[in-house]
Structure 1
Amino acid sequence: MRQYTDTHRGLPLPRLCADLARDLGDTRDDITLLAVRTPGTRG
């Protein structure tokens, strides 16, 4: 998952979460994502 978020880090958080749910989730079940972007941090 880290590689995915690093690759897509420029996306707004709502879009990043939606893309993660679609691309990495199991659509047969509920998914909960928590994403936080803090200013000044680098991966």
Structure 2
Amino acid sequence: MTTVNDCIAFANGNPISYLATVEQDRPHVRGAGMWFAKEIVNF
């Protein structure tokens, strides 16, 4: 079972991610960065 601490460790190890979506048959890829401050996720 994955714990919250496992998720935090994964996010800290991979702070940059990309989200791909499709709008009206057109693909879009958006980059996202995040960081933690006292176990609170900030985008």
With structure 2 as the length reference, what TM-score do the two structures score? 0.32
Pick the structure with more strand per residue: 2
Q: Which has the higher contact order (CA 8 A, sep 6+)?
A: 1
Q: Which has the larger radius of gyration?
A: 2
